[in-house]
């Protein structure tokens, strides 16, 4: 896919403006972590990028052939569908043939470590397993751009780290870009090739970082990763102290 | 298997308790007002082997099952439509809610006049009564559907028809099945009333006819048959609910 180009994007709700002046370009195959305080408009940004919500101003430009997938905050699995049925839904909606669907599903179940759970319903899965199904469902249609809204927020620390690594491995195997919204600084440093910090009301980009440590051990335990995390935290703290002072 | 045994033993226990209460009532009131349960069971099993009772049971069962299928086929899609189309709902809901409190059974003479003396007016009356309950519950179920389900589907793309198949129908089905279960009691009650007039077939006729002749044992055989028919309809709905909405049971167990 080509670049994702966002120009002066803004969104107003009847209660006020939540997002303003967001501009960036994300080249094909890159990852962006968007971080900001809770309720600052990060999820709104993803909705605008996916086209679920219409922008009040500005534009989102994507190549016409770009396939987008979206993982919602609470996984977005349908409770009445089994793991298998949830997984293959994007293919069914596109009218993919039965045989092709089965082959793709088998491969995805293996890739996501979900073999043996095909007939289970989401209610019978752990949080980590549900998230694997959500990621698998997003990836089965081979998207060019993956949008994720705090995908690991509800998981414990170990499951979170495992899934972050799985996501990175999947990203490396596929030529796709992703935009990840998170409020976790370490997650942003580990998964974001670029990091954008949103701050203020309405939220505006307060920092855009090129993150050389992303995906590496140094993002988690090295000095370089710690320095980037510290920089992000300082910008976030500045925002919260100035908001508290308002 | 263990679960089935547990359900059956609970039913057997409840049945035994009911028989005991019935027996106490029979001793208190005397056999003319309330015949003893064993006498009724004896008369009922003999009648089952006779030529009349099976025919009456089959007629009543055919009417109530056809009516409930008809109610589901009409009310469930209409409930879905009202639940997801706000504009249509704004137009039709006042009509539905104005006519909902009307006891449909009072329309029996009108239906008999309009549709004749056959099965049709009885079936339509039962379908109308149960259909209303189903319609209101299905509509409300979708009105309260978690917006995240719709968002999740929108992120995947898909046509409105696919939305109905993959989201709206399965989301509304558990509430609709519960409504159907609840409506099964009303359906049998309306069946009894509808069969009390202008027919010579059906358990309603059998009960009223035996009552008129003062044949207590035959009347109670009819009452017992109607109760078992109601139980069978209710349990069928219950089993269907378990099969079609298995995920709901699993969610409740979490």
What is the per-residue pLDDT across A62-107, written as a single tens digit (0 to 9) for each?
888 888 898 988 888 999 999 999 999 999 999 999 999 999 999 9
Dump pLDDT digits (tens) for B139-193: 999 998 988 888 888 888 889 999 999 999 999 999 999 999 999 999 999 999 9
Name the residue among A14, A68, A12 with its Cα closest to residue A44.
Answer: A12
Nearest-angstrom CA–CA distance, A205 and A197: 6
Name the residue among A240, A168, A154 with its Cα closest to residue A203.
Answer: A240
For chain B, how many helices (H) and strands (E)?
12, 0
Percentage of chain A lying above the pLDDT 70 cut: 96
Tell me which residue in B148, B159, B173 faces A72 most closely, judged by beta carbons.
Answer: B148
The CA-based angle A98-A67-A72, given to 5 degrees, is: 90
Task: List phi, psi (to 5°) of B81.
Answer: -65, -45
Residue B81 to residues A108, B72, B87, B145: CA-CA distances in angstroms?
A: 36, 14, 10, 13
CATH architecture of residue range(s) A4-67+144-245: 3-Layer(aba) Sandwich (3.40)
- Test A90 with B251 for CB contact under 8 angstroms: no
Q: Does the CB of B17 have a partner CB in chain A at under 8 Å? A: no
H/E segment holding residue A59: strand A57-61
- Test A79 with B246 for CB contact under 8 angstroms: no
* Helix then strand then coil, % of chain B, to nearest 5: 85, 0, 15
Are residues B224 and B43 in contact, defined by beta-carbon separation less than 8 angstroms?
no
pLDDT tier at A183 (50, 70, 90 boundaries)?
A: confident
* Window 223-252 of B, Cβ < 8 Å to A: 245-248, 250-251
Residue B152 to residues A78, A85, B185: CA-CA distances in angstroms?
A: 8, 14, 37
Instruction: Using an 8 Å CB-CB cutoff, list chain B residues near A74.
Output: 148
- Test B156 with A93 for CB contact under 8 angstroms: yes
Instruction: Classify burial at A174, counting beta carbons within 10 Å of its beta carbon; exposed 0-12, middle 13-18, buried 19 or more.
Output: middle
Instruction: Using an 8 Å CB-CB cutoff, list chain B residues near A140.
Output: none
CA B148 to chain A, closest CA, distance in angstroms equals 7
- Whose tokens are 């017992």? That residue is B224
- Test B151 with A52 for CB contact under 8 angstroms: yes
Give the residue on A whose Cα is nearest the Cα of B163: A93
Give the residue on A whose Cα is nearest the Cα of B152: A76
| Interaxial angle between packed helices A98-111 and A83-94, expressed in degrees from 0 to 180 and rounded to the nearest 10 | 130
pTM (two decimals): 0.83
Task: List phi, psi (to 5°) of B240.
Answer: -60, -40
Nearest-angstrom CA–CA distance, A83 and B46: 53
Percentage of chain A lying above the pLDDT 90 cut: 51
Instruction: Using an 8 Å CB-CB cutoff, list chain B residues near A76.
Output: 148, 151-152, 155
A193 CB neighbour count, 10 Å cutoff: 20
For chain A, how many helices (H) and strands (E)?
8, 9
Nearest-angstrom CA–CA distance, A29 and B228: 66
- Test A72 with B247 for CB contact under 8 angstroms: no
Cis check for the bond before B125: say yes or no (omega within 30 of 0): no
* For testing contact with chain A, the best of B156, B242, B246 (most A CBs within 10 A): B156
Dump pLDDT digits (tens) for A9-18: 999 999 889 9
The CA-based angle B101-B102-B105, given to 5 degrees, is: 130
- Test A72 with B250 for CB contact under 8 angstroms: no
* Window 103-162 of B, Cβ < 8 Å to A: 148-149, 151-159, 162
Task: List phi, psi (to 5°) of A61.
Answer: -110, 125
Joined together, the tokens standing for residue A237 give 């703290």
Q: Does the CB of B77 have a partner CB in chain A at under 8 Å? A: no
Instruction: Using an 8 Å CB-CB cutoff, list chain B residues near A94.
Output: 157
CA B152 to chain A, closest CA, distance in angstroms equals 5
Give the residue on A whose Cα is nearest the Cα of B254: A123
Query: B22: which residues sit within 8 A by CB, 6+ positions away?
Result: B34, B36, B37
Query: Which ipTM score applies to this complex?
Result: 0.81
3-state SS class at B147: helix
pLDDT tier at A1 (50, 70, 90 boundaries)?
A: low
Given CA atoms B164, B165, B166, B172 in this order, what sign does their dihedral have?
A: positive
Mean pLDDT score, A112-140: 91
Using only C-alpha atoms, what is the Rg of chain B? 22
* For testing contact with chain A, the best of B155, B160, B246 (most A CBs within 10 A): B155
pLDDT tier at A246 (50, 70, 90 boundaries)?
A: very low
- Test A78 with B166 for CB contact under 8 angstroms: yes
Instruction: Using an 8 Å CB-CB cutoff, list chain A residues near B155.
Output: 50, 52, 69-70, 72, 76
Residues of chain A with CATH 3.40.50.300: 4-67+144-245
Are residues B229 and B60 in contact, defined by beta-carbon separation less than 8 angstroms?
yes
A155 CB neighbour count, 10 Å cutoff: 18
Residue A61 has pLDDT above 60, yes or no: yes
Q: What pLDDT is stored for residue B147 in this prediction?
A: 84
Ranges of residues in chain B whose predicted pLDDT is under 70: 253-254
- Test A123 with B250 for CB contact under 8 angstroms: yes
Interface A–B counts its CB contacts (< 8 A) at 59
pLDDT tier at A244 (50, 70, 90 boundaries)?
A: very low
Query: B129: which residues sit within 8 A by CB, 6+ positions away?
Result: B104, B105, B183, B186, B187, B190
Are residues A93 and B158 in contact, defined by beta-carbon separation less than 8 angstroms?
yes
Q: What's the per-residue H, E or C state across B17-51?
A: HHHHHHHHHHHHHCCCCCCCHHHHHHHHHHHHHCC
CA A221 to chain B, closest CA, distance in angstroms equals 35
- Test A93 with B157 for CB contact under 8 angstroms: yes
3-state SS class at A30: coil
Q: What is the DSSP letter of A96?
A: -
């Amino acid at each position: 896919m080509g670049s994702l180009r966002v120009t002066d994007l803004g969104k107003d709700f009847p209660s006020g403006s939540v997002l303003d002046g967001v501009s960036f370009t994300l080249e094909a195959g890159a990852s962006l972590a968007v971080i900001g305080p809770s309720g600052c408009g990060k999820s709104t940004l993803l909705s605008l990028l996916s086209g679920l919500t219409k922008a009040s101003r500005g534009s989102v430009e994507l190549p016409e052939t770009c396939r987008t997938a979206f993982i919602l905050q609470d996984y977005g699995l349908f409770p009445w569908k089994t793991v298998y049925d949830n997984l293959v839904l994007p293919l069914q909606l596109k009218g993919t043939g039965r045989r092709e669907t089965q082959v793709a599903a088998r491969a995805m179940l293996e890739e996501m470590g979900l073999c043996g759970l095909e007939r289970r319903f989401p209610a019978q899965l752990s949080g980590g397993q549900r998230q694997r199904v959500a990621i698998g469902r997003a990836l089965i249609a081979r998207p060019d751009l993956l949008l994720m809204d705090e995908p690991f927020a509800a998981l414990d620390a170990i499951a979170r780290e495992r899934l972050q690594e799985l996501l990175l491995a999947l990203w490396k195997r596929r030529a796709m870009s992703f935009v990840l919204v998170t409020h976790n600084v370490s997650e942003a440093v580990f998964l974001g090739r670029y990091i954008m910090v949103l701050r203020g009301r309405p939220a505006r980009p307060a920092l855009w970082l090129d993150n050389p440590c992303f995906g590496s051990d140094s993002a988690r335990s090295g000095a370089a990763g710690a320095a980037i995390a510290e920089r992000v935290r300082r910008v976030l703290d500045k925002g919260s102290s100035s908001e508290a002072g308002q | 298997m263990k679960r089935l045994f547990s359900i059956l033993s609970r039913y057997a226990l409840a049945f035994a308790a009911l028989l005991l209460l019935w027996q106490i009532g029979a001793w208190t009131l005397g056999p003319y007002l309330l015949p003893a349960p064993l006498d009724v069971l004896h008369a009922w099993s003999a009648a089952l082997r006779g030529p009349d009772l099976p025919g009456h049971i089959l007629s009543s069962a055919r009417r109530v099952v056809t009516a409930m299928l008809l109610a589901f086929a009409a009310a469930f899609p209409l409930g879905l439509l009202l639940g997801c189309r706000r504009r249509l709902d704004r137009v039709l809901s006042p009509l539905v809610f104005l006519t909902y409190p009307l006891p449909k059974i009072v329309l029996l003479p009108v239906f008999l006049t309009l549709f004749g003396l056959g099965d049709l007016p009885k079936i339509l009356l039962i379908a109308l009564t149960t259909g209303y309950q189903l319609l209101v519950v299905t509509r409300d179920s979708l009105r309260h559907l978690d917006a995240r389900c719709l968002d999740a589907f929108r992120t995947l793309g898909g046509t409105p028809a696919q939305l109905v198949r993959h989201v709206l129908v399965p989301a509304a089905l558990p509430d609709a099945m519960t409504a159907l279960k609840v409506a099964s009691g009303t359906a049998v009650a309306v069946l009894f009333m509808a069969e009390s007039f202008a027919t010579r077939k059906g358990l309603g006729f059998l009960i009223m006819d035996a009552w008129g002749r003062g044949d207590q044992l035959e009347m109670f055989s009819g009452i017992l048959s109607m109760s078992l028919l109601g139980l069978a309809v209710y349990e069928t709905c219950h089993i269907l609910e378990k099969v079609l909405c298995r995920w709901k049971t699993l969610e409740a167990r979490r």
